[in-house]
Structure 1
Amino acid sequence: MKKYLGRTAAAALLVSFAGQVAAEEWNVSLWGAPRAFTAHVEKLAELVSEKTDGEFTLNISYGGLSNNRENLDGISIGAFEMAQFCAGYHRDKNPSITVLELPFLGVSSLEQEVELSMAVYNHPATVEDLGRWNAKLLMPSPLPQYNIVGVGDAPSTLADFEGLSVRATGGIGAAMEAVGAVPTSMSATEVRQAMDSGVVKAVSFAPHAHMSFGTIENGTWWTTNLNPGTVNCPVVVNTDAFESLSDAHREALMGSVDEALDHYIANYNGATMEAWGPALKERGIEEVTFADSEIEAFKSVAAAPAAAAWIEQNSAAGLPAQELYDLVTGMIAGDN
């Protein structure tokens, strides 16, 4: 664990008389394995190293530094300098950004997801919320709408979800509960074992995660158009570590975010989605497409009640919840 007390003074001593910036290494806590979900962090590390001639490096660890549900805690105590986490893993720790996980918001692209996320991340209430964890929000991990891979009889109507045990976090879990399913919140790394053992019969994921975490290896059906929402998984940095960076290193980091996100989106919309269809067909997975009337019925029982409950709960907790909700929905309406 790095100690930041007196770090500025220590860094000053390491700067050479020639004016060169001292070398800096950051530890980055991710989980799973390199995949579409982590492509922007990998690209960020590459860009930062290039721009600083190797003087600033991001050492990426996949599960070696922390449990994925504890990455925000690790950031708060300076156990590592950068991490990725998902808001739905611990909604009470980061309520401000869970507005982005409400069901049926109507987000239509990864580019729009980035725009919405950054607007929420930069809101003063969100900055203060994450500041409780000594965390600075750096960039999102934009994900498409989630759909469900399951085993057993494929559903054909909303009524068929009654009693179905499904891994679903955040707003997606609330949406599934609204149609009678039994949502279970668990991290991505726990899903395959839970599915193999029968703890859950279905899993809500974005396409890359269905492939990365093996749900399609024993799944028999997949919903093509349920699209209840997505999750928000930011990349954050420890505030003390960020503030201790030299101007050159801070500029290299912040100046690489947009390019890293562009790389992520191009990779997701390209290679990841190109692999998704063939992966389903190779395994003979049945594609379930619901009638428009079923989707509209799903929205009517899930969207407005979830939003109202979110606003009420978080307003009572002191957040400007209505303001955050209006920010997101207003931006979406303006884009349509």
Structure 2
Amino acid sequence: MKRAFRGAAIAAISFAFATEAMAEEWNVSLWGKRRAFTEHVEKLAELVSEKTGGEFTLNISYGGLSKNRENLDGISIGAFEMAQFCAGYHRDKNPSITVLELPFLGVSTLEEERKISQALYQHPAAIADLARWNATLLMPSPLPQYNIVGVGDAPATLADFEGLSVRATGGIGAAMGAVGAVPTSMSATEVRQALDSGVVKAVAFAPHAHMSFGTVETGKWWTTNLNPGTVNCPVVVNTDALNGLSDAHRDALLGSVDEALDYYIATYNGATMDAWGPTLEEKGIAQVTFADTEIAAFKEAAAGPAAAAWIADNTARGLPAQELYDFVTGMIGQ
């Protein structure tokens, strides 16, 4: 009996160790709070856990692992296995994908943004660019065109942006600079304080971020149709961690990306946008719509020069910049 009991105990301990060895936990670095912008990551975690019977889990942290501008650095050293970041936060670190942030590209829907982003993420130049940080591009965070919430007198024409300090990153910042505004780059978590203190007078965000980061609590006006562009904020994984997964766990992760993105887009186009109009009305925010002639002049002033500068700068870096630009613009409207 003692031998039987001892054998059973050893078997139980061995099973426990085997189960522990099979388990996989990844840390995921996000920022802010759970919102429309992070729903694909939340859904991905849910799907991966379901498909692996809880053996592979994604532990999502909102700001507890890293600052948002340092997420790519954290990935590079293996401080965590997955992270989200925005290309415009550090254009020098990920120049290949900043082509998606050029102003007035003409992308019109989240579905199109997703399609073009996913295609670019598979381009050899983008893969090599992020490989410098031991990062593999996993999925985009498709966002609609940005517009501006501001304080003070609402602009009646684009000339009224002259000298106005605007939080705007990447290509949106370049576009605002083309009409005389003073673009300021800062992370989303810094924006509310900057607007409240007068460091900036206006903020360019997608609707979900205006709601999530509180600009609608202070703002007095909103531009309905400026639409200068959007930002590209991928989710990446540490390449060594990805390669270290078992086949089953890797398949569960990669095989869940499209379903997670489907959920994200449905949520954004549904609940998020359904809440936006009522929020503007509730907060008494005036809606500013510019004439078509004004928008055409804005596009002429911003689009061509920004694209030419991007191509020249990144060709000098050694990127096939013209090829990347043609690759992206060739997919728009297709």
- TM-score for both structures, normalised by structure 1: 0.94
Q: Shift of the alpha carbon at 1:279? A: 0.3
Aligned partner of 2:218 in structure 1 is 218
Distance 2:221 2:70 in 1: 32
**Counterpart residue number, 1:126:** 126
SS of residue matched to 1:232: coil
| Residue identity opposite 2:308 in structure 1 | A
CA displacement 1:249-294 (0-9 Å, x = unmatched): 0000000000000000000000000000000000110000000000
User: Cα deviations across residues 175-220 of structure 1 (Å, max 9, x unaligned)?
Assistant: 0000000000000000000001000000000000000000000100
Q: Please identify runs of 4+ aligned residues in structure 1 that moved more than 4 A.
A: 14-21
Instruction: Quote the Cα distance in structure 2 between the aligned partners of 1:329 and 1:309.
Output: 16
Q: Is the 8 A contact 1:21 1:246 kept in 2?
A: no
> Partners of 2:17 and 2:143 in 1: how far apart?
46
How much has 1:317 moved relative to structure 2?
A: 0.5
Name the CA distance, whole Å, in 2 between partners of 1:19 and 1:166: 53
Q: Which has the larger radius of gyration?
A: 2
- Unmatched segments (≥5 aa) in structure 1: 1-13
Can you list the C-alpha shifts for 1:28-80, whole angstroms capped at 9, x where unaligned?
00000000000000000000000000000000000000000000000000000
Q: Which letter does structure 1 place at the counterpart of 2:233? A: C
Q: Is the 8 A contact 1:49 1:56 kept in 2?
A: yes
SS at match of 1:253: helix
Cα displacement (A) at 1:21: 7.3
- What residue identity is the alignment partner of 1:88? G
Describe the SS at the equivalent of 1:143: coil
What is the distance in 2 between the residues matched to 1:294 and 1:174? 17
- Match of 1:284? 284
In 1, Cα distance between the equivalents of 2:325 and 2:112? Answer: 16
Counterpart contact for 1:145–1:228, Cα < 8 Å: yes
Alignment match, 1:50? 50
Is 1:74 aligned to residue 65 of structure 2? no
AA aligned to 2:297 is A
In the alignment, the residues of structure 2 paired with residue 54 and residue 156 of structure 1 have an alpha-carbon distance, to the nearest angstrom, of: 55
Following TM superposition, by how much is the alpha carbon of 1:119 offset from its aligned partner in structure 2, in angstroms?
Answer: 1.1
In the other structure, the counterpart of 1:115 is: 115
Query: Counterpart of 2:332 in 1: which secondary structure?
Result: helix
Could you tell me the percent identity over the aligned residues? 82
CA 1:18–1:217: 2 relative to 1, 3 Å: closer
TM-score normalised by L of structure 2: 0.94
Write the letter of the residue equivalent to 1:217. E
* Aligned-pair CA distance for 1:82: 0.1
2:240 corresponds to 1:240: yes
- Which residue does 2:308 correspond to in 1? 308
One-letter identity of the residue aligned with 1:292: D
CA distance in 2, matches of 1:87, 1:166: 18
2:19, 2:48 → 1: CA distance?
19
Aligned to 1:60: 60
Q: Indicate the SS of the match to 2:22.
A: coil
